[in-house]
């Protein structure tokens, strides 16, 4: 599976959280967790948009999906 999120972004997130240093495996694991979470949100958001008779996913669909995941 091709990864969508860059490892540099994972390091920035962890450093923003206060980590002085970040190991490469930690960046990889965070990316995997976030991409899996985002995919689950996307699937639920798609269901919400389809239920509303739309093909377009809106921000409100994402917000509702995130509450359920």
Domains along the chain with CATH numbers? 7-68 (1.10.20.10)
Between the two ends of the chain, the Cα-to-Cα distance in Å is 22
pLDDT given for residue 3 in this prediction:
87
pLDDT given for residue 20 in this prediction:
98
Residue 7's CB is within 10 A of a number of other CB atoms, namely 15
pLDDT given for residue 2 in this prediction:
78
Tell how far CA 26 is from the center of its chain. 16
Q: What is the pTM of this model?
A: 0.88
Ranges under pLDDT 50 in the chain = none
């Amino acid at each position: 599976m091709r990864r969508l999120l860059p490892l540099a972004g994972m390091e920035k997130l962890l450093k923003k959280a206060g980590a002085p240093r970040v190991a490469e495996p930690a960046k990889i694991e965070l990316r995997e967790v976030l991409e899996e979470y985002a995919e689950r949100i996307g699937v639920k958001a798609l269901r919400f948009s389809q239920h509303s008779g739309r093909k377009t996913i809106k921000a409100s669909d994402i917000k509702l999906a995130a509450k359920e995941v």
